[in-house]
Amino acid sequence: MVYADLHVHTDASDGTLSLSALPDAARRSGIGAVAVTDHDRLHPGLSAPVAERDGVEVVAGIELRVEASDQRVDLLGYAVDPTDSLEAELDRLQRDRVNRGRTIIDCVEDRLGVSIDVDLDDGVGRPHVARAVVAHPDTPYDRIGDVFEDLIGESDPCFVARDVTDFETGAALLRESSALVSLAHPFRYPDPEGALALCDHLDAVEASYPYDEGRGDDGRPRPDSSLLSEAVEAYDLLETGGSDAHGTSLGAAGLTKSEYERVASRLPRP
């Protein structure tokens, strides 16, 4: 039974769950601990690395996209107490997100001949654009996935790549400011073996997450899952897990209570 969901996005980035609604959402799913891991942003409502909110343990975290050799991967920082250097880098990334969002919106509006309503604030991402397209009565789209497939997915006409931090810098910034740094969803990348090799510089790897266990994002069969257990042993890694929730339902994947206790032993207590 999932007790801890350590990969949750809120409306501070591209999720729909508010921080005030998080405890109720956790309780509905039987979750006792949640890590808020918004994209390239620390939730402004979390002032402590770990805190209790209405009976739910909430870990202040982040999901940071980084450039590692020939692919981009995501790092999860847990119990973040931000340094000035991390905050400066996140400010830079958020400015890029806003500029990128404006360019994507201009392209989508031009192609569809409509004006869509998207707030260009910190945390803006492609899901905000997709939701606005679906909500508009004069577009042919009623599914967010179709907007990604036709307009704003990679290699689609309105896709704009983000400027991201290089792996060495990102890992160093998170190590300086976080109690624990984990590689997110290792089998989602074009080169999972190469991604797992990066764990030599990390504390943990996300071993439980709710994506198709048979195929990666590109549709190709996944490599032998023993790669994960081999990395855990080779680099002496903790195992983290979470649902990568962007909605209001939590606990699609995560850690049992005993598994979370091993992670929690590395975190400051609330």
Domain of residue 261 covers 4-82+180-265
Residue 145 lies in a domain: no
User: Residue 257 sits in a domain of what CATH number?
Assistant: 3.20.20.140
pLDDT tens for each residue of 120-150? 888 888 989 999 999 999 999 999 999 999 9
Taking CA atoms, 138 is separated from 60, 134, 201, 256, in Å, by: 39, 9, 49, 46
Residue 112 lies in a domain: no
Residue 208 lies in a domain: yes
pLDDT tens for each residue of 244-266? 999 999 999 999 999 999 999 99
Could you give the 3-state DSSP secondary structure of residue 181? strand
pLDDT tens for each residue of 203-258? 999 999 987 544 444 444 455 678 999 999 999 999 999 999 999 999 999 999 99
Element spanning 224, H or E: none
Taking CA atoms, 92 is separated from 31, 104, 137, 159, 216, in Å, by: 34, 19, 35, 20, 30
Domain count, the chain: 1
pLDDT tens for each residue of 79-96? 999 999 999 999 999 999
Residue with tokens 């996944």: 222
The sign of the dihedral angle between the CA atoms of 2, 30, 4, 214 is: positive
Residue 97 lies in a domain: no
In this prediction, residue 211 carries a pLDDT of: 73
